[in-house]
Amino acid sequence: MENIMGDGMAITRLALDAAALRHETIASNIANINTPGYMPLRVNFEEQLTAAGGAEANAEKLQNVTPFLELEPAKNQLTPQVALDMEVVKLNMNTLHYQALLRAASKYMSIMNIAIADGRR
């Protein structure tokens, strides 16, 4: 049986999961800013989504897309470190991204509710 929520909502759900994981990861990077030897992390998600077909991906292609953590590519291989200002920018951008995804999901659910109610409120 086909997913009633559609492929767009499946992508949105995955993107929300990735954004939540990214928020935790950035917070961890900030918390460990003064930890000797700490290697900053990042979330690998967008790369997988693009490989699966991006916004046109269907549920079958999305089955193998799972956000996961990896080491942040070091700009300076000798001293990988967390740059507080960049992490704060990433955190703010991620927060805005998460809020936009929530608004999109909310609008979609409102449309589904109207359709289910046959246009009656």
How many other β-carbons are positioned within 10 Å of the β-carbon of residue 4? 8
**Can you give the pLDDT of all 121 residues of the chain as single tens digits?**
345 567 778 888 899 999 999 999 999 999 999 999 899 999 999 999 888 887 677 777 888 889 999 998 876 555 556 789 999 999 999 999 999 999 999 998 888 888 888 766 6
Per domain, the residue ranges of the chain are 6-116
- Rounded to whole angstroms, the Cα distance separating 67 from 43 reads 6
Q: Provide the pLDDT for residue 2.
A: 44
The CA angle 119-58-61, to the nearest 5 degrees, is 155
Q: Provide the pLDDT for residue 100.
A: 96
How many other β-carbons are positioned within 10 Å of the β-carbon of residue 33? 13
